[in-house]
Amino acid sequence: AEEAPVVAKRAKVRAFLSVAGWFVSTVVLITMNKVLMGEHFALPVFLTFLHMMVSFLWCEFSMTMGWTARGAIKSRAEGWKVFFLSQVMALSVLLAVASFKYVDVSLEQALAASSPAFTAAMGVVILKKRERGKVWLTLLPVVGGAMISAGGVPEVSWFGVTLVILSNIARGTKSCMQELLLGKDALDSINLLRYMAAFSCLTLLPFSFVIEGPAIIAERLSYVSRDGIIAAALVANCTGAFMVNLFQFQVTENVGALSMQVLGNLKNVFTSTASVFVFRNAVTSLSIVGYGITMAGAWWYNKEKNREKAEAGKDTSEASVAAPAHPEAALRK
């Protein structure tokens, strides 16, 4: 048997490599989104279709590798619920991809970091969920920082900002509707993603033909085949979409879901910083301050939500200990 220090060291190396891979693949995916949404490949619906197709292939790959058991939709009703969720998910991705035509990556990441506020708001509307006062307090810096960040960008496109906000609303709606429609007995995350990606592909491809036109799509793909840089960007973009899923799975396995939430905030900072160096977009001190406030608020929000879950789990555990093992035991007292 291997010594404990050696095993621990290898585990740390695996965790570091998975986190590094997740960060780098995210930068590749998002920066290539920005490149492709330029004048030569401005096809947000078709590009979202490619992302969904790659996500489906990732799920099939993970099941072929034996990392995840293959699950099935149990009823027609559940199938329609998953289909509805898939369309909301596709809409959120589509809006985010389209926004890169109008806003810089750093601003998109700052605004996207405010998504917990929209999830909490949609939870009140859809789930009738009541959050604690302290949770709502954490959302003030999340939203306020995002607004400061947007206001600090010279010549900001408010249409692009609107697209990102609508994407956040769609993402929050999807999270709440998933909890409402599927409940605790839902498919696991990878099987759910597999079905939602497949359903999204079925609607996004014909929708792209209607909105963007098969002739325009064929023309842009023909241009891509002749332009090595754009072709490389498209391949890198699709590869990045696959690798983000792969490394995200590995990060969750190696560091756990709680640490992943903290790392997610750091990933946003890393992606924004990298985009500034890649695209040389202007960043003001006000934008940096706003982004810092948003990230601090997101960290505080995650901390409060995890404390809430821990307290709920503790209460459940204490209740199960206090309850008699058999109902008849209580009657004998």
Report pLDDT digits (tens) over 135-159. Answer: 888 888 877 887 777 666 667 788 9
Q: Is the CB of residue 104 less than 8 Å from the CB of residue 153?
A: yes
Neighbours of 1 (CB within 10 A): 4
pLDDT at 332: 42
What DSSP character marks residue 184? Answer: G
pLDDT in tens, 185-221: 667 778 888 898 999 999 999 999 998 999 999 999 9
Total residue count of the chain as it appears in this document: 333
Q: Is the CB of residue 71 less than 8 Å from the CB of residue 191?
A: yes
CA distances for 170 relative to 207, 222, 241, angstroms: 18, 33, 20
- List CB contacts of 60: < 8 A, sequence separation 6 or more: 194
Residue 305's Cβ-side half-sphere holds a number of Cα atoms within 13 Å equal to 18
Q: Is the CB of residue 51 less than 8 Å from the CB of residue 200?
A: no
pLDDT at 201: 94
Q: Which residues of the chain have pLDDT under 70?
A: 1-3, 39, 150-154, 182-186, 249, 255-262, 264-265, 282, 313-333
Q: What is the largest CA-CA distance in the chain?
A: 84
**Which of 91, 33, 30, 37 has its CA nearest to residue 267?**
30
Task: Record the tokens describing residue 96, joined without a space.
Answer: 């985010």
Task: Record the tokens describing residue 313, joined without a space.
Answer: 């789990």
Evaluate if pTM is beyond 0.85: no
Measured distance CA(23)–CA(272) in Å, rounded: 11
Measured distance CA(322)–CA(333) in Å, rounded: 14
Q: Directed axis angle between helix 44-64 and helix 228-255, to 10°?
A: 40
pLDDT at 1: 47
Q: Which residues of 62-97 are buried (b: 16+ CB within 10 A; e: fewer)?
A: bbeeeebeeeebeeeebeebbbbbbbbbbbbbbbbb
Q: Tabulate helix, strand, coil % of the chain (nearest 5).
A: 85, 0, 15
pLDDT at 325: 47
pLDDT at 89: 86
pLDDT at 58: 86
Name the residue type at position 195: Y
pLDDT at 8: 75
pLDDT at 152: 66
**Which of 329, 272, 307, 300 has its CA nearest to residue 103?**
272
